[in-house]
Structure 1
Amino acid sequence: MVQARGLDIKEIKSLMTGLEKASTTQTTIDILEQLKKDVVPTEKLLRETKLGIAVNKLRSHSEKKVSELVKSIIKKWKDEVTAQKVSSHSQSPTTSATTASKTPPVTSPSSAPTPDVTAEKPKVQRPPNGAPRDVKTDGVKTDVYDDRVRNSSVMVTYNALASDSDAHSDTIFQCSKEIERIVFQNENGATPAYRTKMRSLYLNLKDAKNPSLRYRVVSGEISADRLYRMSPQEMASEDLKMEIKRLEEKNLFNAQGAKEQRAVTDRFTCSKCKQKRVSYYQLQTRSADEPLTTFCTCENCGNRWKFS
């Protein structure tokens, strides 16, 4: 089992679950601080637990302290993993020398060492002055088809994915081509529906407030096929999802205004003014096998609350 300063994979995943379900900003910060302090990252550990993906989702958190803590954690882990790779490569000459002493040298081109295809591709240097990456800064050629529209779609998708990414240009380019291919295939060619879908995906991928979507797509957590089938609501940033949820709850409360008559009872007590004159109504806000949600309004002070 992979260990990390007293934390095994099971414990790390437990913290990841707590991070996802954290109800307060302070709880989120406490878990992030523990992860930063107690986890010794290795490439194998991060790949098995997908810890980096879970933490990076909070990069766009509305609380500045959380987003900055996430950035420092990701940078720390990247630096440590890179240092491990450099250290491992620095030991290879000794191994090579030992092997060479036992094996006669061969001059045939076919004996050249096979590249390590599993090694992580080097990261691309970002443009100076904080400018976003794109096909021009990365020197990527997107003219892969005879169709100008398709080439343009690959280009804008690349620009969206690469803007704030550290991934290698080859990785982003392959991802961009696959997204375009899936849309082209499902929309039966470069049709108006194809253009509309590509435009929608581009707008969601380039959203400055939604870096986690770009990261999840480039890292492979979200495949091109899954991205194609996701709704705008599913692609939305965490902040926007929370805002949509807040508005939905507010609208449910306001829906009682459309009723001609509300039931008033003394069974409930207002937590603010302690009065018992409370109006209420009930709605099925979840699945049919779940209990109704009761929405209450104090007729004395206007305080509102709900319970299931």
Structure 2
Amino acid sequence: MSIDVKEIKTLMGGLEKATTPATIIDILGQLKSGVRPTEKLLRETKLGIAVNKLRSHPEKKVSELVKSIIKKWKDEVTAQKAPKHGTNTASSARGSITSTSPDTAADSTASAATTSAAAAARPKVQRLPNGQLRDVKTDNISTDIYDDKVRNSCVTVTYNALASDSDAHSDTILSCSREIEKVVYTNEKGTTPSYRSKMRSLFLNLKDPKNPALRYRVVIGEISAERLYRMTPQEMASEDLKSEIKRLEEKNLFNAQGAKEERAITDRFTCGKCKQKKVSYYQMQTRSADEPLTTFCTCENCGNRWKFS
């Protein structure tokens, strides 16, 4: 039995408020079995955005269920559009589902709609056989746009990064590449060292074979050239890398908080700086075993520290 729009919005509200993995999994299960996705439904309800936000959830069962739901909906929407536009609509179908930020939902919807219309008007470029990557040579693209060879070279490498595993039309990829280079050129005030450094950084992130989502979101217009320019390497990182960074940060924080000295507060010592007697201290054996312990003191009033044996 199909769930109507009102029920979908109710479940979305419950999903946003859910605090336990069990509750989230239950709601996701209802959405997976009850929603009959169409491109119009997903755009109007922004259901894909709400679900995809949980793709990097720390609970593995939740993240895996989200991925299976997104794939299921993408395939169903693609199948609905296939008789009308052929395989051209895979990009637009994915675009309506995989937006990840509520702040960019409006931009994402508009960009996906534009991409869908453009794709319907012209044939889609298929991936090359034998796993060969696309680039300006295979697509027969000229990047002799400016009199400046540096700028043309940056457009070329950006195109190669975006096109490598893309199904998008070459005109779309070239337009994205030119816009990215133009934004960097404008913001860095010419082909300065900072321009070259920024273009190199963007190229390395865009060509990363483990981060196809970034390339895809740039090509469909979900991430604009201006926004890409402002993003940090951490923001451009793949979901797997973000999860690994978060795990390491939590581990380092735990380790940093793990070992603390046992301190006692006494009035037996007087701070030489503020003359107060509220002093915390701990003792450690810092020299040979036959030497007395070293006492480390901290004034709880002014923070002054000293030690004695």
TM-score by length of 1: 0.60
Q: Structure 1 pair 40/199, CA: closer, same or farther in 2 (3 Å)?
A: same
Q: CA deviation at 1:128?
A: 1.0
Q: Structure 1 pair 160/140, CA: closer, same or farther in 2 (3 Å)?
A: same
* Number of aligned residues: 230
Q: 1:39 maps to what in 2?
A: 36
Q: Which moved more, 1:75-84 or 1:53-62?
A: 53-62
Q: 1:157 maps to what in 2?
A: 158
Aligned pair 1:191/2:192, yes or no?
yes
Structure label with greater radius of gyration: 2
Q: How does 1:66-215 map to 2 (within 5 A)?
A: 70-71=70-71, 73-85=73-85, 119-121=117-119, 122-215=123-216
Q: CA deviation at 1:139?
A: 2.1
The 2-side partners of 1:199 and 1:190 are apart by 12
Measured against aligned partners, the alpha-carbon deviations of 1:256-305 in whole angstroms (never above 9, x if no partner) come to: 35643379xxxxxxxxxxxxxxxxxxxxxxxxxxxxxxxxxxxxxxxxxx
Q: 2:5 maps to what in 1?
A: 8
Q: CA deviation at 1:189?
A: 0.7
RMSD: 4.0
The 1-side partners of 2:175 and 2:82 are apart by 23
* 1:136 alignment partner, SS class: coil
CA contact (8 A) 1:58 1:67 kept: no
Q: Structure 1 pair 33/146, CA: closer, same or farther in 2 (3 Å)?
A: farther
CA contact (8 A) 1:134 1:159 kept: yes
CA contact (8 A) 2:14 2:27 kept: no
Q: Structure 1 pair 216/228, CA: closer, same or farther in 2 (3 Å)?
A: same
- Which AA in structure 1 matches 2:80? E
Q: Structure 1 pair 53/153, CA: closer, same or farther in 2 (3 Å)?
A: farther
Q: 2:110 maps to what in 1?
A: none
- Which AA in structure 1 matches 2:168? A
* 1:40 alignment partner, SS class: coil
Q: Structure 1 pair 35/117, CA: closer, same or farther in 2 (3 Å)?
A: closer
* 2:118 alignment partner, SS class: coil
CA contact (8 A) 1:233 1:241 kept: yes
Give aligned-pair identity as a percent: 59
Q: 1:111 maps to what in 2?
A: none
The 1-side partners of 2:221 and 2:55 are apart by 18
Q: Structure 1 pair 117/218, CA: closer, same or farther in 2 (3 Å)?
A: closer
The 1-side partners of 2:188 and 2:54 are apart by 33
Q: Structure 1 pair 52/69, CA: closer, same or farther in 2 (3 Å)?
A: closer
The 1-side partners of 2:170 and 2:49 are apart by 20
CA contact (8 A) 2:211 2:237 kept: yes
Unaligned regions of 5+ residues in structure 2, if any? 87-113, 265-309
The 1-side partners of 2:212 and 2:14 are apart by 21
CA contact (8 A) 1:153 1:180 kept: yes
The 2-side partners of 1:245 and 1:170 are apart by 38
TM-score by length of 2: 0.60
The 2-side partners of 1:253 and 1:82 are apart by 51
CA contact (8 A) 2:55 2:64 kept: no
